[in-house]
Copies of this chain bind each other. A is one copy, B any other.
Amino acid sequence: MHFTSEQRLDDGVVERTFSLGEIPGVLWTPGASSGPVPLILLGHPPLGLNRMYPRLVERARQATADGFAAATIELPGSGDRPALAGAEEARAGLRRAMEAGGPVGEEIKDALVLPLVEAAVPEWQAALDALLALPGIGGPVGYSGGVISVGIRLALVEPRISAAVLFAGSLVPAAMFEEARRVTVPLHVLLQWDDEGNERQAALDLFDAFGSKEKTLQANMGGHTGVPRFAGEAAAQFFTRHLR
């Protein structure tokens, strides 16, 4: 991991871009802190870090204000990274299914999501290795948002993840429901109730499936991108309860 830029944001937060091999990433740390701080990994949809930056930096400001470091990396196949094999065909299949107004078949969900999960999760784990080796960053670690299947797999296989905020807003292959049953870390699941692009019943079934003894579902109005401000604050309070 090597840093490629550093700037101080107006509220004192230090923002550093880095490369982890071929993978670009961003790290935000609080302007002032006494000793190592917990870390929140900021997941995001596969739209590219540049496009997601405004929302990511807003979430990072919340995290650093709460005394955490926050970090994110580019997803495989997004931004300037090479496309994942089969991704183009999978997206075309999704478009056809949506244009036909029908349900999205299991094969399309698998093709869209599973290769991304397989490729992304080891990268987030490698990023975690590198980030936790930095002075000033300790544990525990939370994971927040993004492609929910990536969050499920990471919560399942990565023991350093102590708590996760998941956003029920994307297609979930049946295989990931099975993994969800074995997740045990505390979860805070956000659902946009009136999100037309979302399968509400599938999101409720997924919440039911999680094996975690502490799990909260918070459903709000406002459409896919209209998560209300107070929902972000509730998610921040969840992390404060579990990471401090």
Binding site for B on A (CB under 8 A): 193, 204, 207-208, 213-221, 228, 230-231, 233-234, 237-238, 241
Q: Could you tell me if B230 and A241 are in contact, using CB atoms closer than 8 angstroms? A: yes
Contact pick for A216, options B208, B215, B218, B237, CB 8 Å: B218
**Given the complex, which residues of B lie within 8 Å of A238, measured CB to CB?**
230
Q: Is the CB of A217 within 8 A of B218?
A: yes
**Quick check: A219 and B216 within 8 Å, CB to CB?**
yes
A216 & B220 in contact (Cβ 8 Å cutoff)? yes
Residues on B with C-beta less than 8 A from A230 are 216, 237-238, 241
User: Once the chains bind, are B221 and A214 in contact (CB under 8 Å)?
Assistant: yes
Could you tell me the distance between the alpha carbons of A221 and B219 in the complex, rounded to whole angstroms?
15
Chain B residue at minimal CB-CB distance from A234: B234
- A206 CB, nearest partner CB in chain B, Å: 13
Q: Which residue from chain B places its CB closest to the CB of A233 in the assembled complex?
A: B237
- A219, B193: Cα distance in complex, Å: 13
Pick the contact of A208: B193, B218, B231, B241 (CB < 8 A).
B193
Given contacts A214-B228, A215-B221, 19 further A-B contacts (CB under 8 A): A193-B208, A193-B217, A213-B221, A214-B221, A215-B220, A216-B218, A216-B219, A216-B228, A216-B230, A216-B231, A217-B218, A218-B218, A218-B219, A219-B219, A230-B237, A230-B238, A230-B241, A233-B237, A234-B234
A205: shortest Cβ distance to chain B, in Å?
Answer: 12
Least CB separation from A189: chain B residue: B219
